């Protein structure tokens, strides 16, 4: 018997990276999982692979987390196909890095929309199912960038905003048995950080080695490192923890 037997989870941005590792871990722990991603074909492919590896029901869906109608529809479809939705992981994310003087309106709006509007729309749609069941977990991906990072005015605002919004969710939803927490990773090797390395003109290997050298644990994070923290927050072992941010950064805040 695994810790998440009988639970249904939805992971936004789950087609790859931290989201895919999280979907895989939640399924391995016994949950049925919906992967919702703007990249529908990758979501379906990742879901198929995880289903084969874990024997759980894992389905891929295409939806843009910034689109209210799409989010509402997909959350209801997940509940219909997999059963009462109990675990929501707000993971979908993008970066549009630029120093203030070069940051465009679109850079700002895109990042705030995917992280913050996405969090709002998915949490609003999902919490109705959780309130009905009097049990739920809303886990959102913040970042060490919430503490400030050069070139990430938009992203750090979104990631800090998620921490505040999560504390409010914890207050509003606690009476219904629903916890809300954020996980704030440090440097984790994924497509997102590969793009960052490319933008800075470094190879991913050199960039990763540089980050590892200034991290107390002397390595970069892996998607599985973050998935493990999310799995804990999704489980009953974390049932008295809400409104918190857990930094998973190898000891390096910035």
Ligand X SMILES: NC(=O)c1ccc[n+]([C@@H]2O[C@H](COP(=O)([O-])OP(=O)(O)OC[C@H]3O[C@@H](n4cnc5c(N)ncnc54)[C@H](O)[C@@H]3O)[C@@H](O)[C@H]2O)c1
Alpha carbon of 72 to those of 15, 113, 158: distances in Å?
19, 16, 22
Nearest alpha-carbon partner for 22 in 120, 116, 121, 89: 89
Q: How far is the CB of 107 from ligand X (least distance, A)?
A: 14
Q: How far is the CB of 254 from ligand X (least distance, A)?
A: 12
CB atoms within 10 A of CB 115: 29
Residue 107 near residue 160 (C-beta atoms within 8 A): no
Of the candidates 120, 155, 187, 247, the residue annotated as catalytic is 155
Beta carbon nearer to ligand X, 39 or 76: 39
Beta carbon nearer to ligand X, 51 or 147: 147
In angstroms, the CA 181 to CA 188 distance is: 19
Q: How far is the CB of 1 from ligand X (least distance, A)?
A: 30
**Residue in the shown chain whose Cβ atom is closest to ligand X:** 17
Beta carbon nearer to ligand X, 141 or 178: 141
Contact set with ligand X (CB under 6 A) = 12-13, 15-19, 37-39, 64-66, 91-94, 114, 141, 143, 185, 187-188, 190-193
Beta carbon nearer to ligand X, 116 or 178: 116
Burial class of 236 by CB neighbour count within 10 A (0 to 12, 13 to 18, 19+): exposed
Active site residue 155: yes
Could you give the 3-state DSSP secondary structure of residue 109? helix
Active-site amino acid positions: 155
């Amino acid at each position: 018997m695994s810790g998440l037997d009988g639970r249904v989870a939805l992971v936004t941005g789950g087609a790859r990276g931290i989201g895919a590792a999280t979907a895989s871990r939640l399924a391995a722990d016994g949950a049925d999982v919906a992967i919702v991603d703007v990249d529908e074909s990758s979501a379906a492919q990742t879901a198929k692979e995880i289903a084969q590896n874990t024997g759980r029901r894992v389905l891929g869906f295409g939806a843009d987390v910034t689109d209210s109608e799409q989010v509402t529809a997909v959350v209801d479809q997940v509940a219909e196909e997999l059963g009462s939705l109990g675990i929501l992981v707000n993971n979908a994310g993008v970066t549009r890095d630029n120093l203030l003087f070069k940051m465009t309106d679109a850079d700002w709006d895109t990042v705030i929309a995917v992280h913050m509007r996405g969090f709002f729309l998915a949490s609003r749609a999902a919490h109705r199912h959780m309130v009905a069941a009097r049990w739920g977990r809303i886990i959102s991906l913040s970042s060490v960038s919430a503490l400030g990072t050069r070139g990430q005015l938009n992203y750090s605002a979104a990631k800090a905003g998620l921490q505040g919004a999560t504390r409010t969710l914890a207050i509003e939803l606690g009476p219904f048995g629903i916890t809300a927490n954020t996980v704030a990773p440090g440097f984790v090797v994924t497509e997102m950080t590969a793009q960052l390395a490319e933008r800075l003109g470094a190879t991913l290997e050199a960039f990763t080695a540089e980050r590892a050298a200034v991290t107390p644990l002397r390595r970069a994070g892996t998607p599985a490192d973050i998935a493990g923290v999310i799995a804990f927050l999704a489980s009953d072992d974390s049932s008295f923890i809400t409104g918190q941010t857990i930094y998973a950064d190898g000891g390096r805040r910035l």
